[in-house]
Amino acid sequence: MALIKGVKGVRPRISEGCWLAENATLVGDVQLGARSNVWFNAVIRGDVCSIVMGEECNIQDGAVIHGTLNVSHTILGNRVSIGHNAIIHGCTIEDEVLVGMGAIVLDNAVIKKGAMIAAGAVVLANTVVEEGALYAGTPAKKVKDVDEKLRRVIQKTPQHYVMYAGWMEEEASNQ
């Protein structure tokens, strides 16, 4: 069972159909939307700020979500994919966004709907990523508009992770 801890009397709120890996950690003021999933060694730490996630978000292995006291909180829209070992810190990520493996998104950045952040990119504080754009590099800059192939990846990834979570639940019920 995942580590779920309250802070200052506030406990994570987990909606129907969510799946949490046994070693995922959720702390404090965290809200997960329906059918979201949090994978192995991921940490969602709402001790100093609120973290609100929409439906069908996937927080992949080793990702960290946090914010800064009195500076930022974290909001993820619906069908947001956070890649392995990414760091999401006090920012807003709108619907249907994919943040690649090892990427970092810093305080008060805004990632607009349908955008993609490339693996390893660093989105600096207060950056606004354009809707439907691919940003890459350090610091992250616009590379191009998301084409139809990338759009399908962004849209299919949450569906796949809901399916993978189902596999995990099925396996657990067979043991």
Fold of the domain spanning 3-170: UDP N-Acetylglucosamine Acyltransferase; domain 1 (2.160.10)
Distance, in Å, from the CA atom of 72 to the CA atom of 102, rounded to the nearest integer, reads 21
Write the DSSP string, 7-46: BTTB--EE-TT-EE-TT-EEEEEEEE-TT-EE-TT-EEEE
Residue 174 clears pLDDT 90, i.e. is over it:
no
The domain spans of the chain are: 3-170
Residue 172 clears pLDDT 90, i.e. is over it:
no
| pLDDT tens sequence across 11-24 | 999 999 999 999 99
Q: pTM for the whole thing?
A: 0.97
pLDDT of residue 37: 98
pLDDT of residue 1: 85
Residue 175 clears pLDDT 90, i.e. is over it:
no
